[in-house]
Structure 1
């Protein structure tokens, strides 16, 4: 620090000493009545601050003691480096020297921490723009910043504080950081392990010595917080397997001289393995002992399991809370028989007192309106405290998706032991998004998209979304808005309008397109806290647009010797199913055109659906179940049909690392009222999200001539999947590897008339089940969930060709696609 600030520090110490003596021997004066008080030396501090802090007023008697008290009071303000009082007759002259004021606080080189967060942290302790400069605070901030870097494994981090004086007695404060590289874990040892191998125990840790993916997972970068979490995982592993006296005795971290590598040694004491001999209840259970016994998950005769004990005591506390006993005390007291390695557990309970909820307060919602949060609460003010309703309320607020954190705290009301206040604290996250970019998928090729969505418009809880897709084969424009509380009872309303254009996956020009446009309205009615039923109606139109093939016509003119081939190619571009449904004639292969009796159909679909979701996560689920059912009925216009579907997903955790998942999808559709079933309402199968290893939507019946997939009126898909950590990624749940087995197909009614007729061999082949197996990778990428799969078909249809007519196969073969990827696919 420069010479100016060394003098500043010494002068401050002298001022503190001399100021105390100012009104004594050196400045002893006879008491007198103060006629006026003047202040000298002020630059930014208001004179009123001085007058309000001094214990002396005009008209009062001045004494040496009161002078000393005045100097101490002004020093206590923390605004001055020097304070003196002079007496000029009956006038007091207060002479001050102000502390420098902080003009700006800057950070340089801080990549590990967010600068805004650091600025806020310093502001909370008094280091901020416009505040008086305090070197002691600056030194403490520097040391705390170093400590934070050490906690993240950056042992070589250096922090230098620079104080730069500027005009008008101000300073700029700069924290310059050289972070260096994180210390890498070279070795981890667990000393004292006998019941389990060291490799088994180290496999539980998120931190490791690194692998080929450490550049991404950073699992070999030491962090004290991560080590503590790993030690808790280790403790839980032992406590759930009977070792109730297990403890971590110590953990040492040895750093290499160059501060780049470190070794971690964990010393543990396993203790003996105990078996539960019995469980009994003791205390006051409100006369509901049998109800509480049904909540016990501890199994006598099995090894002691700490998770079961914790789950039981928590279940007891929650059940007490459901009757208003918010502060019930429940303890599991072990009675240990060390001679036989057995333990009896006594569940001691005391409900204490029943309480009411006086108020429910909301904090942290700077954007979201209070009512958006409060309407999700099921615990009401002036009602009995109900733990189940409070947990349900917290979960409902969390499921809104507007917050990164949701916590509910219980605060006792002072002086009123039977009342509490609830404070629901939230941390908001951005709920709007603007997307402008390009994408690529194995089915859709290159596409450009634009989207703007806002899940919490103006903090109202409403959703608004606009999406545009310019895919070569599937173009779309849609606008959707949702009001989750269209009524006060929680009935939601969704309005949407859309316009889509679908073309076949073909590079040839002049084939056909299907245009779908319309709108719909849907209401969601919550029939319970877990079940929602949806009702909706829409108006839609499908337009079939066969197009003239100018390119093929031109080729036929330029190369007349291949004209028949070009005509045949054009005939293969338009599926017979569409020609028949829209009343089209056989394509005019002379002019490369098609004429139809109608070019569009319209309908009024009514929908009813049901959904229940109990998964622990929507992106990376490890447990829980989701079910969806939907019924769509065409009741008006040119389309009369019924289409229903059901989906079931179950996630079963095998252990911390492995999860088994089952997915089943069933669908059925049929026409009524003498109408044909709309072909564009068919189900499709094949590809990601269905039966992997087969080209997207390629399974099931095909057009007799063009071999284009037509889908079917029946669908059955079954997926079985086991996910595990990706090699080298530790226990990172955002990057996983999975193995799978897929079985399924779509089925339809066999056409028996017109030019749709197919042979017996083709129809039998189309009806066979398809199956595949393979491996894949799932990654929660910045662009969304990405899944890549490599599949090998284990049940497929090979192509069978008639040598006399090689253009049209007797039985078409399945379209195989072993490598597939997609962003946003869930299964």
Structure 2
């Protein structure tokens, strides 16, 4: 948003002073005969440089002075904006320029501004010429005040009052103070839609982001009127009709009325629906590069269906993208409907002109003050001096956006002047903070005092590399992890990740026992991009596990120590594959995500195979309802006659698995009553997202209902349907400033006596 600039309220325009000075000049010097200048003197300067005055005059020593040159000199000096008054006097063959400088702004202050940050206001004012050390200009100050009021009106603060005070101080300076009375925010009291027959008023109102007051509008602010919001809602309603066959729908008028106390706003919208049209045919006109059938296959409009503007738009875009893929960057695709109003039918006519084929001369990068150019350029699939390819350009933009280093990414195409077949591409980015520093402390009767800290930087020093350090000093679970990722370890795009860790775990004092599990280790992984959407990972690790103590040691831990000794070494080889087509990794609405990870203990004291597969699918049922499905299957087995290592077990119950059950409480239980996990796991999660009451179409805050199923099985236990636990419940999903947050309340539907129930649960950081 452009923050407002503030104004100087009481001053008159400088034009009057200019006219007076010009009048004085003509009165005093009208009869001056032209003469040769012997000298030019300047009087009245305090801060301005004499050179500025001389540079603005259209005459020099030795020139012939005339009345016209004198008038031109006055106009030029006033145009600099530095002077409040200017006079020219003639003293023999000498011209004396007498100036009165404008006052300089000493300080700009704001009083009563709560809606906008004062530092941003000061910066915005300085950008238009109202700032400390700048000449005071009344016209700019008035414009700044008007803009300030406009910005407050855009936030429904119609009671805004601004009083500008100019206070003279010493040395020809002034202080500018803007005193603002913001008033109360005006709220939308009613929204009425008239003229609608095909759809109810409530249906149309549900399409709008603007709403009347509700119990949650303090958060969504959807009851605060803004013209831009209303225009967007009108376009949404229009699109709703156009996608249901009403080709000639139009908004006849909108009236916005505000109450005398400037607190309540009423909105009235009058629409004309027109008849509903059915598509009876599709025609292609123009030049299609001899590939008519290829383009016809891209047509989304189907004869016999109701007219849908979305189908027209998608077809036009598909045609334009296909032309761009052949190098025709400026292809023109027009749509023309042939209407039969009597029958309510329409023939969709697409007319195309590919224009000329072009190639990319240069690719420029702009907006990156921290990130190196090469980090952005290496994601580009459109190369310089190559034919323009719209698909590669879109892919390039998407790849840069997926880096996660930028708030916005855009690509502009500009023709090269003087050529017919060249364009330059400029990718413009807006950087965002990519580092995270977290410090925390906790205290509980079991854990006592624990400290946690992490430093994560996704784009360290602008190189595109990742560095992370995590520390946890809990009494019973201590962790130190250092991780680095180089996404372009090779020029071909192979990534490398290195993790070094040290973990210790002990039983809680409430469980009894004096044993301790110590696991230092390190892994190195490489990611190889096989396609633009598929990446295969492989790596090698080394982990040393030491089991200390005996009191309270679970039976499977004892068995493992008996077979492998107190200290054992595992060297796992990992292979994985991932594909992600979700529209968002934080709050998905549609798309699919798949991941496979295989871990094979190839050397050391252990021999095992561990696999994990995850599948996610998001389906937008309507523009406001979304169904999400998640399934995860894990399986591990010991090899070469050796036991499957307990520290590779899967766990179930709680967040991310089967909600409503206590975290990690599903699966086998040893003789000491400890939950030890298992080598097999199945989780199935279903969620239906619905709008939060009062939040309108805001997708960052939604309600959901869920149905979960799953369990964990041990090495010798077969997977049986009868063992599945089921739970169902409701929750709130919120994309908070620190990540996706979920709060759920569930009730087990199918449980057993040994299960531990936890109905209220909380998680942050992942979609499921």
Fold match (TM-score > 0.5): yes
* 1:644 matched residue in structure 2: 611
Does residue 1:66 correspond to 2:33, yes or no? Answer: no
Separation (CA, whole Å) in 2 of partners of 1:440 and 1:613:
39
Q: Report the alpha carbon displacement of residue 514 of structure 1 after superposing the two structures with TM.
A: 2.2
Question: Aligned partners of 2:631 and 2:29: how far apart in 1?
Answer: 94
CA contact (8 A) 1:24 1:64 kept: no
Question: What CA deviation, in whole Å up to 9, does each residue of 1:370-394 have, x standing for no partner?
Answer: 2211111111112111111111111
Tell me the residue number matched to 1:786.
741
- CA-CA distance at 1:509 after TM superposition: 4.7
Deviations 1:338-381 (A, max 9, x none): 11111110111111111121221222112212221111111111
Using the alignment, how far apart are the partners of 2:133 and 2:410 within structure 1? Answer: 34
Distance 1:164 1:527, change over 3 A: farther
Matched, 1:664 2:643: no
Residue matched to 1:733? 699
Tell me how far 1:10 sits from its aligned partner: 8.3
Preserved CA contact (<8 Å) 1:152 1:224: no
Tell me how far apart the structure 1 counterparts of residues 643 and 97 of structure 2 sit (CA, whole Å).
99
Counterpart position of 1:722: 688
Structure with the greater alpha carbon radius of gyration = 1
Task: Give the superposition deviation at 1:145.
Answer: 1.4
The alignment of Structure 1 onto Structure 2 pairs a total of residues equal to: 760
The CA deviation at 1:457 is: 1.4
Cα 1:600–1:179 change in 2 (3 A) is farther
Residues 1:620 and 2:620 aligned together: no
Superposition deviation, residue 21 in structure 1: 5.2
Match in the other structure for 1:583: 562
- 8 Å CA contact 2:21–2:87 kept in 1: the answer is no
Indicate how the Cα distance of structure 1 residues 242 and 641 shifts in structure 2: closer, same or farther if over 3 A, else same. same
Cα distance in 2, alignment partners of residues 701 and 311 from structure 1: 53
Instruction: Say if 1:294 and 1:764 are closer, same or farther in 2 by CA, change over 3 A.
Output: closer
Which residue of structure 2 lines up, in the alignment, with residue 559 of structure 1? none
| Equivalent in the alignment of 2:679 | 713
Question: Does structure 1 residue 815 correspond to structure 2 residue 756?
Answer: yes
Offset, 1:574:
2.6
Give 2:750's aligned residue. Answer: 795
Q: Which residue of 1 aligns with 2:167?
A: 164
CA distance change for structure 1 residues 50 and 438 in 2, over 3 Å: closer, same or farther? same
The structure-2 alpha-carbon separation of the partners of 1:428 and 1:6, relative to structure 1 and needing over 3 Å to count, comes to: closer
Please tell me whether the aligned partners of residues 541 and 572 of structure 2 are also in contact (alpha carbons under 8 angstroms). yes
Q: Deviations over 1:482-515 (max 9, x none)?
A: 2222222222222221122233455245443322
| TM-score, structure 2 normalization | 0.94
Q: Deviations over 1:447-501 (max 9, x none)?
A: 6422222221122212121222344553322111222222222222222211222
Q: Is the 8 A contact 2:482 2:499 kept in 1?
A: yes
Give the 3 Å change call, closer, same or farther, for CA 446–693 of structure 1 in structure 2: farther
Aligned to 1:632: 599
Aligned to 1:771: 726
1:692 Cα deviation from its structure 2 partner: 1.0
- Equivalents in 1 of 2:487, 2:24: separation in Å? 71
Equivalent residue in structure 1 for 2:333, among 320, 330, 333 = 330
SS at match of 2:153: helix
SS in 2 for 1:728: coil
State how far apart, in whole Å, the 2-side matches of 1:6 and 1:378 are: 55
SS at structure 1 position matched to 2:421: strand
The 1:246–1:816 alpha-carbon spacing in structure 2 relative to 1, beyond 3 Å, is: same
* Match runs of 1:16-35 below 5 Å: 16-19=19-22, 22=25, 26=29, 28-35=31-38
Matches within 5 A, 1:257-656: 257-438=260-441, 448-471=451-474, 473-504=476-507, 507-546=510-549, 573-583=552-562, 598-656=565-623
Matched, 1:84 2:50: no
C-alpha spacing 1:446/1:216, structure 2 compared with 1 (3 Å): farther
**Alpha carbons 1:685, 1:699 under 8 Å: kept:** yes
Instruction: Tell me if structure 2 keeps the 8 A contact 1:20–1:72.
Output: no
RMSD of aligned residue pairs (Cα, Å): 2.4
Matched, 1:824 2:765: yes
In structure 2, the residue matched to 1:177 is 180
Mapped contact 2:339–2:345 kept (Cα < 8 A): yes
What is the alpha-carbon distance in structure 2 between the residues aligned to residue 677 and residue 23 of structure 1? 105
Matched, 1:228 2:195: no
Pair 1:189 & 2:223 matched: no
Q: Deviations over 1:582-622 (max 9, x none)?
A: 129xxxxxxxxxxxx83322221221211111111111110
Q: Is the 8 A contact 2:586 2:766 kept in 1?
A: no
Question: 1:789, 1:463 → 2: CA distance?
Answer: 33
The CA distance in 2 between the partners of 1:237 and 1:669, in whole Å, is: 51
CA distance in 2: counterparts of 1:247 and 1:177, whole angstroms: 40
Q: Which of 708, 713, 717 pairs up with 1:742?
A: 708
DSSP 3-state at the match of 1:352: coil
1:77-135: CA deviations, max 9, x gaps? 11111112223333322211111222333333333334444344333332233322111
Per mean C-alpha deviation after superposition, the further-off stretch among 324-333 and 110-119 is: 110-119
Residues 226-235 or 193-202, more deviating: 226-235
The range that moved more, 331-340 or 7-16, is 7-16
Residues 493, 104 of structure 1: CA spacing in aligned structure 2 closer, same or farther, 3 A cutoff? farther
Distance 1:789 1:505, change over 3 A: farther
Q: Residue by residue, what CA displacement relative to the aligned partner does 1:309-354 show, whole Å, maximum 9, x if unpaired?
A: 1011011111111111111111121001111111110111111111
| Residue of structure 1 equivalent to 2:39 | 36
Distance 1:628 1:444 in 2: 35
Q: Deviations over 1:218-268 (max 9, x none)?
A: 222222222222222211111111111111112111111111111111111
For residues 674-704 of structure 1, what are the alpha-carbon distances to aligned partners after superposition, in whole Å with 9 as ceiling and x for unaligned?
322111101111111011111111112221x
For 2:455 and 2:410, the matched residues in 1 are separated by 30
| Post-superposition offset of 1:643 | 0.9
CA contact (8 A) 1:689 1:826 kept: no
Matches within 5 A, 1:124-143: 124-143=127-146
Give, in whole Å, the separation in 2 of the partners of 1:262 and 1:364: 40
CA distance in 1, matches of 2:411, 2:317: 16
Gaps of 5+ in 2: 1-7
| Offset, 1:645 | 0.9
Q: Deviations over 1:648-693 (max 9, x none)?
A: 1000001111101111111111122332211110111111101111
| Aligned mates of 2:618, 2:21 — CA distance in 1 | 75
Question: Partners of 1:26 and 1:688 in 2: how far apart?
Answer: 90
Change (3 A) 1:455 1:10: closer
CA distance in 2, matches of 1:231, 1:439: 51
SS at match of 2:168: strand
- 1:676 to 2:643 alignment: yes
What corresponds to 2:4 in structure 1?
Answer: none
Contact 2:586 2:739 in 1 (8 A): no
Give the CA deviation at 1:724.
0.7
Q: Larger deviation: 212-221 or 615-624? A: 212-221
Q: Classify 1:486/1:148 alpha carbon distance in 2 versus 1 (closer, same or farther; 3 Å).
A: same
Structure 1 stretches lacking a partner, 5+ long: 549-572, 585-596, 752-762, 799-812
Report deviation, 1:580: 1.2
